[in-house]
Amino acid sequence: MSDANVGDHALEVAADKPWSIEQHAIEPIPSADRHGSPAELFRLWIAANMNYVVLLTGALAVTQGLSFWGSMSAILIGNILGCTVVGLSSIMGPKTGSAAIITSRPSFGQLGAVLPIIVSTLSAIGWFSINSVIATQSLIEVFKLIGLPGSPTFGWLALLIVLVAEITVALYGHATIIASERLVSMVLVVMFLGLLIFVVPKIDWATAAIGRKPHDAHLATWLLVMGLMFSYPVSWTNFASDYSRYLPKATSWRSIAWASGGGQFVSLVFCEAIGVCFAMAVGGDLSDPVADLPKVLSNWYLLPFLITVIVGSIAANVPNGYTAGLGLLALRLPITRITSLLVIALATLAFRIFTMLHGHALDLYEQWLGYILIWTCPWVAIVIVDYFMRDGQYDGADLMLWGRGRYWYSGGIYWPGMLAFLIGLGASFLFANGDLYTSPLMTRFFGGTDLSFESGLIAAGLIYYFLKRRDARRS
């Protein structure tokens, strides 16, 4: 089937229509229900990354002390690398027809895959909780602007409203997510451009040109920030194939990679560049990223912009909730997709209580990015290498089996994948310098540089390649 034919497939099918509850869970999508084209992935990835959390990711470059041009170069390089990985992690969907994290089973074994599935699910729940907090804080500010009291009762009401909106769209599923993301993306672009117009005149460009770090610390800081920029797109890799799995099996992997990675790159660079300007306009100190908005916005623009932040955070968060639900199902828990979403809502309530006690959401977010980087890079390197070594050939029926089938291997574990993953984790920690862990090697011999993602990707990918090739020769 040519790419042209693929693009002509029906835009919707009975099992996956916008504003109807999706009929499939993690089982492979049958051929009769395959539909769509890579172009819808481009639009989806733009919309899903057009939000305030991405803007704050860009702001981290300034809070770390980089100059304007140092921040922009870290953003460009980090996103070129990260979005390339996201594009490549999207290509398994049409071949497996299943959720992204299910691709762990061929490379780790059915039992061995439980480890990355657990970590992936916790990751998705964490992202869902973080985005919910940002949307909730924005809604609380809206309540204050319209004259409602800033009592804890209204804080919990704000969280409830946000969770109901997010869970409802995630419950409807794949087609509804793609349709709703397309609806909000253009509004978000216009409103974020408005923020940029407000913040640029407030920037001290003399200070912005030199940054706030000593010159001899620039490289270490730049590498750390570039790793943070890289970590945001890479944090989507365990989600990516969830949205390509409905495409016809013959869809070109190159068109999928370009559409997914390209859409995300456009959105991330746009938002993160605005985040850099916002952080510089407030002097590089974002003690409260939502409460800081009145420092740069006129009163007439503040309310509509806060509503935009709420809508954007919800739009970005729906895929997190959807993927977290699929992750719980991939653990073979005896629950439905609906029940899994309710579990995720309860986890978000617990996280909200934690953030209220901790008191600094931006610090939590930065620490979360470091955690994502450590585990995701080895995992995604393995599943991408595995895809190309098997030429994209998967047995959909065997992906769903337990205790038997070609992906059970020896006792349910495929040791090349497990060993490569553990070695990749070890390499990430060995070359890490972040809030999660600081390696003495990096502080003593590398000037505090962070090379965790490079080492994790390269080590895991190479180890898996050579171990799998040796295993293939033996068999």
Per-residue pLDDT tens over the stretch 426-447: 999 898 877 667 888 888 877 7
Residues 298-313 have pLDDT tens digits of 989 999 999 988 888 8
Which residues, including other chains, have CB under 8 Å from residue 436's CB and lie 6 or more apart? 367, 370, 371, 374
% of the chain beyond a pLDDT of 90: 39
Residue 248 CA to residue 244 CA, distance in Å, equals 9
Question: For the packed helices 114-145 and 361-389, what is the interaxial angle rounded to 10 degrees?
Answer: 140
Residues 133-154 have pLDDT tens digits of 778 888 988 898 888 887 788 8
- What is the chain's length? 475
H or E stretch covering 192: helix 174-199
**What DSSP designation does 28 have?**
P
Residue 446 CA to residue 449 CA, distance in Å, equals 6
At 460 the pLDDT is 96
Band (166; pLDDT cuts 50, 70, 90) = confident
Band (3; pLDDT cuts 50, 70, 90) = very low
At 374 the pLDDT is 82
Count of H-run helices and E-run strands, the chain: 19, 0
Q: 63-67, 82-86, 343-347, 349-353: which range is least confident on average?
A: 349-353
At 197 the pLDDT is 95
Of 159-168, 183-192, 253-262, 331-340, which one has max mean pLDDT? 253-262
Residues 401-433 have pLDDT tens digits of 999 999 999 899 999 999 999 999 999 989 887
First CA to last CA distance, the chain: 33
Band (213; pLDDT cuts 50, 70, 90) = low
Question: For the packed helices 337-358 and 114-145, what is the interaxial angle rounded to 10 degrees?
Answer: 60
CA dihedral 392, 383, 79, 35 (to 10 degrees): 40
At 188 the pLDDT is 86
Q: 90-94, 183-187, 384-388: which range is least confident on average?
A: 183-187
Q: Of 273, 264, 235, 267, whose CA–CA distance to 61 is shortest?
A: 273
- 452/267: higher pLDDT: 267
Contact 137, 64 (CB under 8 A): no
With H, G, I as helix, E, B as strand and everything else as coil, classify residue 435.
coil
Average confidence score pLDDT of the chain: 85
| Radius of gyration for the chain, computed over Cα atoms and rounded to the nearest angstrom | 22
Which residues, including other chains, have CB under 8 Å from residue 111's CB and lie 6 or more apart? 408, 411, 412, 413
